[in-house]
Amino acid sequence: MLLLGWIWGLLFAPQDAVQGNSYRIIFLHVPSVIFAELIYFFMAVCALMHLVWRVKLAAYLIKSAAPIGAMITFIGLFSGSIWGIPTWGTWWQWDARITSTLILFIMYLGVLTLHGSFSNLEKADRLMSILVIIGVVNIPIIKKSVDWWSTLHQPASISVSGSSSIDPSMLYPLLISIIGLGFTLISLGILSSRSYILSREKNKKWVLMHV
């Protein structure tokens, strides 16, 4: 599905009037930035579940989602800055949205480092959840910052309610890319959380049965 969206986007979609062909990066850039935020939200929900109801699984999910989030945020930042070279003439701008995405990346790294630095894993789980919940304040700032400071970024191109400022011939491949990347990341998440859960619960009976 991801492949379909990309092939459609790369090969068949028309040129953008202003930006020329370089806009084709959008099919990687926009989905990855969307998921960079979504994964963090997911982690925050898990963190809440872990802290309030003491669901162990939630902490495992955070731990396995964080590297994926860091990866996809990195891809988003990277593709964005490459896209910036032909369009804005600069690869980096201290623009609010880029900055807050960078902060998001740092948050992911912080979560991972925090978890990695404790020998008592249950303690690490709880502290990590606290950090994740505090960090979720960051996401509205990313969203709002576009309005607070006038920036280079075009405002969000796809709106749920009706009129989109993007042509269907570009919109469809973009949507398909988003969904496709979603599935890709979910399968990746399942894989890595499986290995993590197995390694954490290695003393339990069901794990032995499973293997």
Partner 1 sequence: MKLFSVQNITYSINENKLFHNLSFEINSGEGLHIKGGNGSGKSTLLRIILGITSPSKGLIQSYDQDLKISYLGHKNAIKNYLTPIENLELLFSGDDLNVAFEWLNKFGLSHVQDELTASLSFGQQKKLALIRVLAQSSDLLILDEPFVGLDQATADQLNSFLAQKISQNAGLILTSHITPMIDCAVLDLGAKNA
Partner 2 sequence: MFNSEFKNLNELLEMGGHGIYVWSVYLIGISIIAISFLVAKKRIKAVQRKIKFKNASS
Partner 3 sequence: MLSFIKAESFKLSKKLKSWLGPLLVMVLVLIAFPLSIDISQYDLDKFYFSIIIVSLLMTAFVATEGMFEEDFEDGSLEQEFLKEKDFYKLVISKIFVYVCLIGIPIAFIGALFSFANGVAVDSFGKVFLLLILSNLLLFNLFAFGNALSINKGAMLGVLSSLPLALPVIILLGRAIRSIQYEDGFFAVTTLMVGIGLMVSAIMPLIISVALKTHID
- Residues in contact with partner 2 by CB under 8 A are 6, 10-15, 20-22, 24-25, 28-29, 32, 67-68, 71, 74-75, 78-79, 82-83, 85-86, 169, 184, 188, 191-192, 194-196, 198-199, 202, 207-208, 211
Site of tokens 């290695």: 202
Which among partner 1, partner 2, partner 3, none contacts residue 68 (Cβ within 5 to 8 A by kind)? partner 2
* Of 28 and 33, CB closest to partner 3: 33
* Of 87 and 145, CB closest to partner 2: 87
CB of 138 to partner 3, least distance (A): 6
Q: How many residues bind partner 3 (CB under 8 A)?
A: 21
Site of tokens 């201290």: 94
Joined together, the tokens standing for residue 181 give 């990347």
Which among partner 2, partner 1, partner 3, none contacts residue 178 (Cβ within 5 to 8 A by kind)? none
Q: Which residues bind partner 1 (CB under 8 A)?
A: 119-122, 201-204
CB of 95 to partner 1, least distance (A): 44
Expressed in percent and rounded to 5, the helix, strand and coil fractions of the chain are 75, 0, 20
Residue 10: is it exposed, middle or buried by C-beta count within 10 angstroms (0-12/13-18/19+)? middle
Contact pick of 131, 176, 178, 185 for partner 3 (by CB under 8 A):
131
What is d(CA 153, CA 5) in angstroms, rounded to the nearest whole number?
23
Phi, psi dihedral angles at 93 (to 5 degrees):
-140, 135
What is d(CA 175, CA 209) in angstroms, rounded to the nearest whole number?
41
Site of tokens 């579940």: 49
